[in-house]
Amino acid sequence: MAGGGGKGGGDYWPGFVDALTNVVIAMVFVIVVLAIALSFSAQMLAKRMAAKIAEQEAALGRARQAIAAPASEKERPGGTPPVVETQAAQRTRIAVAGNEASLAASAAAAKVKPAERYLQLDFAPGALTVDEKAAKALGEALAPLKQRLAESPSLRLEVVAIGPEIHLSENQRAAFIRAMAVRNELLGQGIAGDRITTRIDMKASAPSPAVAVRLGEKP
């Protein structure tokens, strides 16, 4: 009887192995199907994001052309339009073409009139870095602000990035890169890092990307 019981007990293993094999095969099949679906979804999402970015760049280009058209009618007698202009008494505007090859070739010389508390760097579409001419103009415009910082230890420089459709993650990342590029230029001008704060203004809406540098009180 013992031998019969042992023989009968061994009959369960083939069925158990078959069931376990089927489960493993089914799990592998499900994993393969999920991997293929995720890969396909990632490709579709990447294409949609690329198309969205292309549409935004095209819209920015048309907006800048529309802004530049009326501005060209106000050229100075010599025939050279001002690259940087002060629109308000306390704001200095600096045009930034960036170091990207396609933009640096068309960069013009920047002329800056220093302001006491506020200056703004207007970036060209697609520019993420501060080109040499803009960096030089920034250094000249910083003189009054650096003097105010030296006179009052409670003051700091606020670097605030703004831009169109800032709620989009891609635009936020580009704005952060521009803000850090300006911060690096300020550090190179001898301003201590603890006197500089950097942030992205999520509420401000601007037709083109820009970075503002202004005086503020320490928290």
* pLDDT score of 144 more than 90: no
Low-confidence winner among 12-21, 95-104, 144-153, 163-172 (lowest mean pLDDT): 95-104
pTM: 0.51
Residue count of the chain:
219
Q: How many CA atoms lie within 13 A of 97 on its CB side?
A: 19
Give the ranges where the chain is alpha helix by DSSP (H).
Answer: 2-9, 12-72, 101-104, 132-141, 143-151, 169-188
CA-CA distance, 157 to 191, in Å (whole number)?
9
Please give the average per-residue pLDDT across 77-95, as a whole number.
50
How high is the pLDDT of residue 113? 41
* pLDDT score of 89 more than 60: no
* pLDDT score of 86 more than 50: no
Please give the average per-residue pLDDT across 175-200, as a whole number.
88
* pLDDT score of 25 more than 80: yes
How high is the pLDDT of residue 218? 67
